Amino acid sequence: MHYRSKSNHSSTANMSNMSMRGKIIFYEERNFQGRSYECMSDCSDMSSYMSRCHSCRVEGGCFMVYDRPNYMGNQYLMRRGEYADYMSMMGWNDCIRSCRMIPMYRGSYRMRIYERDNFGGQMYEMMDDCDSVMDRYHMSNCMSCHVMDGHWLMYEQPHYRGRMMYLRPGEYRNFMNMGMSGMRFMSMRRIMDSWY
């Protein structure tokens, strides 16, 4: 069985520039087997389309996938390519439950990071990648941030390793309220248009 997500844009616009819009296909079984679900936008709960998801194929754009509905829980960035058994690759015990399309962005990047929640403690403004918050800013933790420009990934370990979290422009007052309890963010990277 084959499902397609709904979009408010015309089908001509969707097909004219797939790399700007993005497309990901989810499959119930490993190696692209079983029922599939095509998605070209955000999907907050995939359970209404399929009971499980064990492989996927990104045909255009970048997507953030989550192991819980409503863009919560563990996250992983999916770029163009095939993921025949993503659970082994990511070390997840659960299936993809929601996904968010990351729009292509070609402007400046700016983010303020804070040592404590609610924008407390030390504050530093970033405009480029940071492979170690501890080495660059002597901060042992980052608990809140304000993304002014661009789309970013934050990682729990230095040098862009470990679990990650996607941030788009907005205020993030408390990472623990976002399902990231117990996680410390030690490196940050911009999501660049070259990733598409």
Q: CA 156, CA 136: separation in Å to the nearest integer?
A: 16
Per-residue confidence at 150, pLDDT binned at 50, 70, 90? very high
Q: What is the DSSP track for 155-180?
A: EEETTTEEEEEEE-SEEES-GGGGT-
- 48 three-class SS: helix
CATH H-level, domain 11-102: superfamily: Crystallins (2.60.20.10)
- Residue 10 burial (CB count, 10 A): 9
Side chain identity at residue 50, one-letter code: M
Q: Where in the chain is the domain with CATH 2.60.20.10?
A: 11-102, 110-195
Tokens of 155: 């990682």
- Which of 20-24, 65-69, 148-152 bottoms out in mean pLDDT, i.e. has the lowest? 20-24
Give the pLDDT of residue 92.
Answer: 67
Note the Cα 65 to chain centre separation in Å: 6
pLDDT on residue 149: 98
Q: If pLDDT is split at 50, 70 and 90, which confidence band does 131 have? A: very high
The whole-number average pLDDT for the span 43-52 is 91
Query: Would you state the pLDDT for residue 195?
Result: 83
**Does residue 196 register a pLDDT over 50?**
yes
Higher pLDDT, 87 or 123: 123
Q: What's the pLDDT at 20?
A: 56
Burial label for 157, CB within 10 Å (0-12, 13-18, 19+), is middle
pLDDT of residue 179: 66
CB neighbour burial string for 46-85, b if at least 16 within 10 angstroms, e if fewer: beebbebbbbbbbebbbbbbbbeeebebbbbebebeebee
Q: Per CATH, which fold does 110-195 belong to? A: Gamma-B Crystallin; domain 1 (2.60.20)
* Nearest alpha carbon to residue 99 among 153, 188, 38: 38
pTM of the model: 0.82
Q: Is the pLDDT of residue 14 over 90?
A: no
- Model pLDDT, residue 32: 95
Q: In 3D, which of 86, 79, 69 has the Cα closest to residue 32?
A: 86
pLDDT > 90? residue 188: yes
- Which pLDDT belongs to residue 78? 93
- What average pLDDT score do residues 136-161 get? 95
Q: Give yes or no for residue 17 having a pLDDT over 50.
A: no
DSSP states along 64-100: EEEEETTTEEEEEEE-SEEETTHHHHHT-SS---EEE
Residue-level pLDDT at 106: 92
How far are the Cα atoms of 143, 149, 176, 177 from residue 118, in angstroms, in the given order? 8, 19, 11, 11
- Residue pair 7/40 in contact (Cβ under 8 Å)? The answer is yes
